[in-house]
Amino acid sequence: MRDFITSQFGVSVVLAFIVINVLLGAVSYCIYFERKISAWIQDRCGPNRVGPWGLLQPIADGIKFLVKEDVVPNHVDKPLFIFAPAAIFLVAFIGFAAIPWGGQLELDGRLVNIQVANPDIGLLYILGVGSMSVYGAVLGGWASNNKYSLYGAIRATAQMLSYDIPMGLCILVVVLTMGTLRLEEITLQQTGYWAGWIPQWNIFLHPLAFAILFITALAESNRTPFDLAEAEQELVGGFHTEYSALKFGMFFLAEYAHMITASAFIAVLFLGGWHLPGVSWTQPQATQWYAVLAKIVVLSTKIIFFLFVMMWIRWTLPRFRFDQLMRLAWKGLIPITLALFVLAAALLFFDRQRSPLWALSGNLVILVVALITASSSRLRVTGRQVNLPTIAPATDFVRLGRVEMPL
Amino acid sequence: MSLSPSLDSYAAIGITILMVLVVIVAMLILAHFVGPSRHGPVKDSPYESGMPVSTDARRRFHIRFYIVAVLFMLFDVEVIFMWPWATVFHHAATTGATIPLETGGVAGKGFLLAGMGVFFALLLFGLLYEWKKGAFQWD
């Protein structure tokens, strides 16, 4: 038994159990922190009635989700209506399986990875699982047989599909730099130093790819400014208009779980995962249990930082219009990421893929060219594409008062 | 009990999926049995901001969404083709390894880069063509 627990497979199973439970708790508290941060930004108090500082609010919310009526209206497609929240919840909660949480741990003289699964195609796995969340949205919208739901679902689908392509290309830039799809290996390759003290994190090689990956992560998890799918003023609740009780809660939890997985993914790809420069416990050689704990704390801090930025953006920026959203993806991000891909391939060809000087200047050139192109009016990347005809002021129409009416 | 490391990984992913499925089934069953259940003609009709329902929701939608779906199929599949190329090219470029070809020769990093160049040019041409055709024009 002890032999099984200390083997890689046993550690994986135990870790999967722990992470699922921690994630379920974390998403509940994400909602609490979202409300607290929104209150802080808008100069309000936020939840403060249930427990000290409202800390028990997520539990109260959970109970309320549970005891509310689970309405299944009789106009819906029942199997799909039940399947949709399950689908979105499932894909949101299995993406973390390939995230390396804490390097390696020495157990009974063996080294085991603190990672649920370390498949050869870890990156592809996360990308694939992440893009599957579109099924939950489109099935929920279609099954609801409600116009708001259907339009929300179609918008969500178009948006997720469009932002999938720049996301894939940004990750491809990392693959070209690192040459591996294993996330543990990617973290390990980022633990070196330039000039003795600058950590070899990918953000210092491809900051533009990092920024675009963050933007696409916002779009993929339907967060503001990309939450067109549930634009309340236009579409009531979007694709989950007809859902209530715990099924609605599952959509809600899935969104936050998606955010956490995406943050962890970006932290691993671009910010060195569990690596913190200068601290000996967070180096790959440290395999004691306290070193693993330190690494988990470092990665969690990076995740919390990303979550905070996502919430900050949500309560600061207004929502895009739909044409702006699609234009940003197809005319903005895709050409830039294609250029980044060419840059990464060229750097690799000349064996400069780990040289920050070359990579950063390439990034700078791409950014400057993109800004100049976007601001030149001929190519029409931004702004209205079609000038609407100006409406002539009504001169010969009815005016109240003693003016004659045209007959 | 230990299979090959990679198979172990997939087994661990499978167990993760099973664990999440247990959570999902528990949530769905709880949601079904715990809350009250009261039906009514108004409650069971689709929500349309309080108005009587006019038509079925599943109507035709705009052609633009269809175009997005087709473009996604083209671009995303092309991007997926780049992934194996990226790992092979990285291997060839960093170690100087060559890949044997069916014709008998060997391909170095220059050949691989040129091959991707042709593929990439086609992709770029497609993007520019769609752009000129106005497929990305949304207003």
Picking from A68, A326, A351, the nearest residue to B136 by CB comes out as A326
Check CB contact of B39 with chain A, cutoff 8 Å: yes
Record: contact A93-B23, CB cut-off 8 A? yes
Please, what is the average pLDDT of chain A? 83
Record: contact A118-B9, CB cut-off 8 A? yes
Record: contact A165-B79, CB cut-off 8 A? yes
Write out chain B residues lying below 8 Å of A168, CB-based: 76, 79-80
For residue A198, list its beta bridge partners.
A194
Record: contact B113-A345, CB cut-off 8 A? yes
Q: Which two tokens stand for residue A180?
A: 């591996």
Distances (CA, A) of B77 to A169, A348, B64: 12, 23, 20
3-state helix, strand, coil in chain A (%, to 5): 65, 5, 30
pLDDT band at B1 (very low <50, low <70, confident <90, very high): very low
pLDDT in tens, A136-157: 888 888 888 888 888 888 888 8
Bond into A225 cis (ω within 30): yes
Record: contact A145-B80, CB cut-off 8 A? no
Q: Distance between CA atoms of A137 and A160, rounded to whole angstroms? A: 10
**Is the pLDDT confidence value at A219 over 50?**
yes
Dihedrals φ, ψ of B100, to 5°?
-70, 140
Q: Which two tokens stand for residue A124?
A: 């592809």
**Is the pLDDT confidence value at A82 over 80?**
yes
- Report the range of poorest mean pLDDT among A16-20, A90-94, B74-78: B74-78
**Is the pLDDT confidence value at A383 over 70?**
no
Distance from CA of B17 to the nearest CA of A (A): 6
- Report the range of poorest mean pLDDT among A10-14, A85-89, A380-384, B82-86: A380-384
Q: Compute the count of residue pairs across chains A and B with CB atoms less than 8 Å apart.
A: 219
Check CB contact of A80 with chain B, cutoff 8 Å: no
What pLDDT is stored for residue B5 in this prediction?
61
> How many percent of chain A have pLDDT more than 70?
92
pTM: predicted TM-score of the whole model, two decimal places: 0.87
What pLDDT is stored for residue A407 in this prediction?
47
Q: Distance between CA atoms of A377 and B132, rounded to whole angstroms? A: 15
Check CB contact of A241 with chain B, cutoff 8 Å: yes
Record: contact A9-B47, CB cut-off 8 A? no
Q: Distance between CA atoms of B55 and A106, rounded to whole angstroms? A: 64
Record: contact A90-B12, CB cut-off 8 A? no
What pLDDT is stored for residue B2 in this prediction?
47
Q: Which two tokens stand for residue A159?
A: 């948006």
**Is the pLDDT confidence value at A303 over 50?**
yes
What pLDDT is stored for residue A309 in this prediction?
92
Check CB contact of A258 with chain B, cutoff 8 Å: no
CA atoms within 13 A on the CB side of B4: 4
What's the ipTM? 0.85
Rounded mean pLDDT of A298-318?
90
pLDDT band at B139 (very low <50, low <70, confident <90, very high): low
Rounded mean pLDDT of B16-20?
89
- Report the range of poorest mean pLDDT among A216-225, A384-393, B40-49: A384-393
Record: contact B58-A150, CB cut-off 8 A? yes
Record: contact B35-A181, CB cut-off 8 A? no
What pLDDT is stored for residue A390 in this prediction?
61
Write out chain A residues lying below 8 Å of B28, CB-based: 82, 85-86, 246-247
Please, what is the average pLDDT of chain B? 81
**Is the pLDDT confidence value at A43 over 80?**
yes
Query: Which residue, among A147, A206, A250, A323, would best test binding to B if mutated, counting the most B CBs under 10 Å from its CB?
Result: A147
